[in-house]
Amino acid sequence: MTAVIVVTRRGIAGHFLIMSVTSSNMKSLIKDEKIIRIGVAIAGILLLPLFAFPYQASSIPSSQLLNPEELVKLLQSSAGEKPLIIQVGSHVLYTQAHVPGSEYIGPASSESGLQQLRKRVEPLPRDKFIVIYCGCCPWSHCPNVKPAHDALRALGFTNVKVLYISDNFGANWVDKRDPTAKGE
């Protein structure tokens, strides 16, 4: 039995729904088995990045994670260096609610977002305390924090923390009544 994989884009966060359809179901639509095999091969090539590098936020070392309670304490403390806080997710989410004092850079899952991030941090000392966060979706599905983290580390930044948001920014920050700003 040959299978065809159908991929459809779902939602604004760029998640994909993957369905498997058997060739027996497709016989009325596709007569030539070679077309199916070619389609499966092409789908495999196109889908490889989704499965080979799937939202690798969970691969960020726990020593480089910061939980929301820790960030709230940092924001409320008068002692010590305040971090540069950068939101690397959706602009819509940023305008709805964000960590006070954070800067919007753009989705780090896109090259333009990564370029904005590099441009913003370029003049900073490499030991600058930087906190990045997204909050668009559950941690294991976040397409933005890992590329941003990797980019900062590749630039030589040694004091980078990623705000660990297990579900989403609304549930893990706003609903907990942590300090929140809205708008630009």
Q: Residue 156 — left, alpha, or beta (φ > 0 → left; ψ -120 to 50 → alpha)?
A: left
The answer on 150 and 74 residing in a single domain is yes
Percent pLDDT > 90 in the chain is 59
CA 28 to chain centre: 40
Domain end, chosen from 14, 35, 52, is at 52
Q: Residue 182: inside a domain, yes or no?
A: no
**Cα 87 to Cα 23, 73, 94, distances in angstroms:** 44, 18, 7
Kindly indicate the confidence band of residue 16, based on its pLDDT and cuts at 50, 70 and 90: very low
The answer, as to whether pTM is greater than 0.75, is no
pLDDT, greater one: 72 or 4: 72
Q: Residue 166 belongs to what domain range?
A: 57-174
